[in-house]
């Protein structure tokens, strides 16, 4: 799969394909259904599948105070889309010049001239062009004029609600990472730089990797079971998010105890998946009581790992 940042010299072998445009934040099951249909149409017309995304989200330039925290960074998003089988992802560097194109200009310049799309697939809530003035009805009419195949894919429903990036964002804010995982194509993941902390975990037998510079949404305070990725290997982990009231530390931290792992990884970027929530942050009366709870947390992490592997094998 190719990750493309500019359209000035869009590769010829990627032209005349099936295109979809959107933010695709999180790459959830609704996105997967849309991509599935995109691939089917691409196969019908004998062309590649192209996903056009924006980097950063247009709202960050237009209304920065309203910018939602992202669920994925660009490379992670591209990797998830690659696993769904797309041929190329355009992560277009969002700028005001593009955002001020009318929807007709956007269609003519980007969709027709630069990408030369022969088919398009979108969801019913798709808007494009300056002030989001273009909608799927207008896009359908423009595609018809240019003899571009166009199809609308219905939203994907889980429970009684549509799967959307906003819904997933709310679940993660609430700490419901298990429910979020059921809406996503893969468990929710964050990344951060491993930095030096107080090293208190090592003194009580539970060393942790302290994550800093996290660039996506951090789940609600609590303890979670998940997976950590080190040098292309994965390990189960108990993840603590929040303050440490037992030791009177009020600073919010993301601390990852990697199970059955004792190497030093300071200065490395660590990626961590969230599989399920274990408990709330609590204050303990002594360090011994805390250690007992941490032992239970690791046991619970192992149980969750076993259950998860059974359901995914």
Q: What is the pLDDT along the chain (313 residues), one digit of tens a residue?
A: 999 999 988 999 999 999 999 999 999 999 999 999 999 999 999 999 999 999 998 999 999 998 889 999 999 999 999 999 999 999 999 999 999 999 999 999 999 999 999 999 999 999 999 999 999 999 999 999 999 999 999 999 998 899 999 999 999 999 999 999 999 999 999 999 999 876 666 677 889 999 999 999 999 999 999 999 999 899 999 999 999 888 888 889 999 999 999 898 999 999 999 999 999 999 999 989 999 999 999 999 999 999 998 888 6
Q: What is the pLDDT of residue 9?
A: 86
List of long-range contacts for 235-244, beta carbons under 8 Å, 24+ apart: 235/259, 235/260, 235/261, 236/260, 236/301, 236/302, 236/305, 237/272, 237/301, 238/278, 238/294, 238/297, 238/298, 238/300, 238/301, 239/272, 239/274, 240/208, 240/281, 241/281, 242/281, 243/281, 244/200
**Per-residue exposure over 264-273, b if at least 16 CB sit within 10 Å of its own CB, e if not:** eeeeeebbbb
Residue entry with tokens 């804010």: 173
Taking residue 251's Cβ as centre, other Cβ atoms within 10 Å add up to 8
Domains and CATH numbers, the chain: 2-158 (3.40.50.620), 187-312 (2.40.30.30)
Q: What is the pLDDT of residue 199?
A: 64
Q: What is the pLDDT of residue 16?
A: 98
pLDDT in tens, 189-226: 999 999 987 666 667 788 999 999 999 999 999 999 99
pLDDT in tens, 207-216: 999 999 999 9
Give the DSSP letter of residue 8.
Answer: T
DSSP assignments along 91-146, one per residue: EEE--HHHHTS-HHHHIIIIIIIIS--SEEEE-TT--BSGGG-B-HHHHHHHHHHT
pTM of the model: 0.94
Q: What is the pLDDT of residue 198?
A: 67
Q: What is the pLDDT of residue 248?
A: 83
Q: Which token pair is 310?
A: 């059974």
Q: What is the pLDDT of residue 249?
A: 83
Q: What is the pLDDT of residue 196?
A: 86
Helical segments of 200-312, H only: 200-203, 287-312
């Amino acid at each position: 799969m190719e990750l493309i940042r500019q359209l000035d010299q869009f590769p010829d072998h990627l032209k005349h394909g099936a295109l979809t445009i959107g933010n695709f934040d999180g790459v959830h099951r609704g996105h997967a259904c849309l991509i599935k249909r995109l691939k089917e149409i691409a196969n019908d017309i004998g062309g590649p599948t192209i996903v056009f995304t924006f980097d950063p989200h247009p709202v960050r330039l237009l209304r920065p105070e309203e910018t939602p925290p992202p669920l994925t960074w660009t490379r992670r998003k591209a990797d998830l889309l690659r696993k769904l089988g797309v041929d190329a992802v355009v992560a277009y560097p969002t700028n005001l010049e593009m955002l001020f194109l009318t929807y007709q200009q956007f269609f003519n310049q980007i969709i027709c001239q630069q990408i030369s799309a022969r088919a398009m697939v979108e969801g019913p809530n798709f808007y494009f062009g300056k002030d989001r003035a273009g909608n799927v009805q207008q896009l359908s009419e423009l595609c018809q004029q240019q003899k571009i195949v166009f199809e609308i894919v219905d939203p994907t429903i889980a429970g009684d609600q549509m799967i959307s990036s906003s819904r997933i964002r709310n679940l993660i804010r609430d700490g419901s990472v298990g429910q979020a995982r059921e809406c996503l194509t893969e468990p929710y993941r964050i990344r951060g730089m491993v930095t030096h902390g107080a090293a208190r975990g090592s003194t009580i037998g539970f060393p942790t990797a302290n994550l800093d510079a996290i660039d996506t949404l951090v789940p609600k305070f609590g303890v979670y079971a998940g997976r950590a990725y080190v040098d292309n290997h994965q390990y189960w982990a108990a993840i603590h998010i929040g303050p440490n009231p037992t030791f009177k530390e009020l600073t919010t931290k993301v601390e990852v105890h990697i199970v059955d792992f004792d190497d030093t990884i300071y200065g490395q970027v660590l990626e961590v998946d969230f599989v399920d929530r274990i408990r709330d942050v609590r204050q303990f009366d002594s360090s011994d009581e805390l250690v007992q709870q941490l032992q239970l947390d690791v046991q619970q992490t192992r149980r969750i790992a076993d259950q998860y592997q059974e359901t995914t094998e």
